[in-house]
Structure 1
């Protein structure tokens, strides 16, 4: 889907993901010291708003202008920097403390490249957190995109994290009614420079 398709989807289904952030994201980030966060492919902003309420300085980026317009409408104090942009070309002005990529689905080779590129934006001690639908979900789960070409598996995200310190790389199963959806999570950071003895 391109930006025009996503614009139409957000026009036809306002608030398609609900207002609450994904539980996996809140669990992984709870207790982290707030800094500057970038929410890539932020959609209508549910995770960006949660980060902002948790004390983060947040930039939310999405290539759907309709989604960004909806996000701005739910940010009454204007505390979040909302930007319309193609996440595969966009970059922050300087280092950031968190890059969140929540349900960003690209052709797998492009996603691997994007995750690796986003990790280069991290400040010392910063984290990259990717959460999306897993390829396993296509075969064994419910919901999610019906195109396996945009669904990463563990090996894909391991390639994306090559050279990074991996804190977590795992499947996350969540109950959806009587069925189970299978997500995939990568949490990583840049290695700190070695300390000389």
Structure 2
């Protein structure tokens, strides 16, 4: 669950398993993502002391590797074996293989055991998720946050600036909807809930931007 990418021409999209869809998605190219960490994550985490972190929907490992390079002990989770193998190879090349535990999970059904100082859920948007599945995953992620820890959620809040005619209908969640969907119990504080502009080049490399939302909630110690 890491992309708004959609195969409009693929009639089998709705019949394939989630794992098969994402394995096919990653297998289409040798590299799908830039390898750089998500800008929202960097802004929100750069000043935090390193600890344990759960990276949900880790893809090819850009965030996980960046975190490991800064002293975090990372559990990186994705449904795609292709993505996980690719991420592990990148981590080895970066010299942080020992700091990252790569685990395959379909987030709709399971999470790694234990609790973490930081749980990062960056852009868990999936064209093959059931309605309400993302919100259920994020609520479940609260239980993976250790006392005093943080759940950090990055979401797309709109189409990139160069998209004049959206390729398909999609309703992006508002910041308030993201927060409300968590149904935060007592003992949680909303530290950040805002929309930011992320610099993002268009497919031809020209400057562009995309509206994203960031929600950071903290569990009381």
Q: TM-score range by the shorter chain?
A: 0.7 to 0.9
Instruction: Tell whether the 8 Å contact from 2:105 to 2:111 is kept in structure 1 after alignment.
Output: no
**Residue of structure 2 in register with 1:172 after alignment:** 196
- Taking the aligned partners of 1:145 and 1:187, their CA distance within structure 2 comes to 30
Report the counterpart of residue 47 of structure 1 in structure 2: 63
Cα distance 1:170–1:86, how it changes in 2: closer, same or farther (>3 A)?
Answer: same
- In the TM superposition, residue 178 of structure 1 has moved relative to its aligned partner by 4.2
Partner of 2:125: 105
Q: What is the TM-score with the length of structure 1 in the denominator?
A: 0.85
**Shift in Å at residue 16 of structure 1?**
1.5
Distance 1:191 1:86, change over 3 A: same
> Unpaired segments of 5 or more residues in structure 2?
1-12, 201-205
**CA distance 1:119–1:142, shift in 2 (3 Å):** farther
Q: Higher RCO, 1 or 2 (CA under 8 Å, sep at least 6)?
A: 2
**SS of residue in 2 equivalent to 1:119:** helix
**Where does residue 158 of structure 1 map in the other structure?**
179
- Could you tell me which runs of 5 or more consecutive residues in structure 1 were left unpaired when the two chains were aligned: 193-197
Aligned counterparts of 1:171 and 1:59: Cα–Cα separation in 2:
27
Q: 1:129 to 1:145 in 2, by over 3 A?
A: farther
TM-score (norm. length: structure 2): 0.77
Q: How many residues align?
A: 188
Identify if the C-alpha distance between structure 1 residues 146 and 169 changes in structure 2 by more than 3 Å, giving closer, same or farther: farther
SS at match of 2:86: helix
Tell me, yes or no, if the aligned pair for 1:38 and 1:98 is still in contact at 8 Å: yes
Q: Which residue of structure 1 lines up, in the alignment, with residue 214 of structure 2?
A: 185
